[in-house]
Structure 1
């Protein structure tokens, strides 16, 4: 499979699954939680509060891991493992673009200064369970 074909398959899994697991590093150990993800090509964005512990964790160590996919049927579902680095992004354009009314339970609208995004730049992307084939790594 060409790198272009593989990238297309990875992007489909990412686009089809908004909920995934974000793992940061806390005291040299993984700290995982479910998050909502949006994507622009392979760059991921996840909304969060500025005053959460994950912000402190990424300031100490920006390396993260994300799992997306693996729903519905279970063991035969395709999913992606993304390893990369993250940084805070509080761009107004991003806040407006991805604002959802369901966020109102945590934020006072898209202009809330506590409403920010983590921007995740992938370094390694592996797709798993693709038609029963062994995992494949996307060359970035």
Structure 2
């Protein structure tokens, strides 16, 4: 597989705009591992090997276990994830697969019971951001 264009070089202002979203998320009060779980799960759904590799490595550096990363695609079938993580993963799947039904009222209500509005906004922005990165990675054939 040959890499295609380098968007960072060809369109640096657009690339920097997405980096701005990443920088915004760094100031979040939510645990950093929440964002890595979002990034890995969305990347699994979208099939972005580059992002799965990067964010699995980043999660391990944060102390995440191999087992939880290996089982992330079947998170509903295990008790390894907290209630908060389960809600975040449900949001990730529903927003990533927005063409199916979008973020359901049921999942949104669960989120409102656990997270404040600012945290929900940050979770949604994290999901949107990794989906943008996945589309860049896949369409430009970024390689691991």
TM-score with structure 2 length normalisation? 0.25
Higher strand share: 1
Structure 1 or 2: more helix by fraction: 2
TM-score by length of 1: 0.26
Of the two structures, which has the highest relative contact order with CA contacts closer than 8 Å and spacing of 6 or more? 2
